[in-house]
A and B are shown apart, each in its own frame.
Chain A
Amino acid sequence: MSDIDADAETSAEADTDLDSDADFAPDADVEFDASDVPDADTNINAGINVEFDPVRPYTESEIIMTTVRIVTPFVLTYGLYLTFHGANSPGGGFQGGALVGVVVLMLAFAFGIQPTREWVGSGLMSGLASGGVLVFVGVGLGTLALGGTFLEYGLYEPFVGSDATKWGMEAIEIGGVSAIVSGVIMGLFFLTAAGYDSEGGDEA
């Protein structure tokens, strides 16, 4: 057993009562025997766990929590502003979506990854990412269906008026790009924090 594996399992055992993460089956924790690991090794790992806990890389800090509590509303507002005002000022769906995603990352840093993950829920993230692609594809294929070329916004004029090009661009920036980017950024963060799951995933 390598040091890293032992490290992960030791901390999983220590956190069993706090951690509702189902990645670590309870019986796996019971089976793990600390005496497998030489004493000196255990001590070294225990020392590392204080600083870098692979399962819950989180230290409750009043400073970080207060800062995030104050800053978050402004970051979220600025992200939405960049998204919705990107057509007429610097910014756009990509930048705005990134900032909206960062809000969730900041919350996770301040209040713990696991509670934030449960609060956000996987449905929101995969919904944003795949919904964004569907909106983008839908707008593009809609113009094809109307007899034009991909994303030829002008063809929507009978439905939305003479500003069809502008509204089409807003639709793919707000409903498409920004949704994809915010969903994927949140997802990447929680995925990286969760790490490799040797038990999970669909068997190919």
Chain B
Amino acid sequence: MSVVGFALAAFVLITAGATAMLRDTLAVIIVFAAYSLGMALLYTLLLAPDVGITEAAIGAGVTTILLLVTITKTTRPAAEEIFAGINWPAATVSAGLAAVLLAIIGSIPAGNFLGGTTPVTGAAGTPGEGVTGHYLASAYQQTGVHNSVTAVLASYRGFDTFGEAVVVFAAGVAVVLVLHQGDFI
């Protein structure tokens, strides 16, 4: 990863910490939007533009607006301190999870991250060589689309995408029911 990548990673870590630590809800939402924007740029830098666009639109955009609309329905307690106290049991669990994730990442050869020439997952010798390599090699020939992500989503894994789309629909219906509204007014 380049200097820009490490700077973005540091930015994401700092904003994530601030999201967890800040006391004022409005400040948390704004910092969380900045975190999502940093993640979107990081995804794009790591050659995952589809995920980056999604993170920017949903994480930085829609989620922020929905959270803002939600806190307008609450009162805003006057905050004396800027940061909340640390919840040690939760912090311990989070640290444990982070340790597990780091151990998994550590088991992947470091050259995949630091060499500057990140091998495409699915290339010979990397995890997922079989199925990913097959998709990358034959997506255009078999489906006729150039974006192999779309090919996997809509064709190879079309049934999964169907479930995903229905989950989004069901989420909308569930909110209608929970809020006792008759419709998407």
Binding site for B on A (CB under 8 A): 3-4, 7, 48, 51-54, 57, 82, 86-92, 94-95, 98-99, 101-102, 105, 109, 117, 122, 125-126, 129-130, 132-133, 136-137, 140, 150-151, 153, 163, 165-166, 168-169, 172-173, 176-177, 180-181, 183-202
Given A151-B159, A187-B176: A122 and B150 interface contact (C-beta under 8 Å): no
What is the bound-complex CA distance between A53 and B74, given in angstroms? 10
Binding site for A on B (CB under 8 A): 49-50, 52-54, 57-58, 61-62, 65-66, 69-76, 142-147, 149-151, 153-155, 158-159, 161-162, 165-166, 168-169, 171-172, 175-185
CB neighbours of B49 from chain A (8 A): 90
What is the bound-complex CA distance between A185 and B66, given in angstroms? 9
Q: Can you list 21 A-B contacts (CB < 8 A)?
A: A52-B73, A87-B146, A89-B147, A90-B52, A91-B147, A94-B54, A98-B61, A102-B62, A105-B62, A122-B183, A126-B184, A129-B172, A133-B166, A137-B162, A172-B161, A173-B153, A186-B184, A187-B175, A188-B175, A192-B70, A201-B180
Given A105-B65, A190-B185: A195 and B159 interface contact (C-beta under 8 Å): no
CB neighbours of B153 from chain A (8 A): 92, 173
What is the bound-complex CA distance between A200 and B32, given in angstroms? 33
Q: Is the CB of A165 within 8 A of B143?
A: yes
Given A87-B146, A94-B54, A180-B165: A187 and B75 interface contact (C-beta under 8 Å): no
CB neighbours of A90 from chain B (8 A): 49-50, 52-53, 147, 149
| Interchain CB contact (< 8 A) of A196 among B66, B149, B179 | B179
Q: Is the CB of A151 within 8 A of B62?
A: no
Given A98-B58, A184-B171, A185-B62: A52 and B76 interface contact (C-beta under 8 Å): yes
What is the bound-complex CA distance between A51 and B26, given in angstroms? 12
Q: Is the CB of B146 within 8 A of A98?
A: no
Given A91-B53, A165-B142: A197 and B75 interface contact (C-beta under 8 Å): no
Given A190-B184, A195-B179: A165 and B155 interface contact (C-beta under 8 Å): yes
| Interchain CB contact (< 8 A) of B149 among A92, A137, A183 | A92
The 6 closest A-B pairs by CB, nearest first: A187-B184, A201-B180, A90-B49, A166-B144, A184-B172, A57-B72
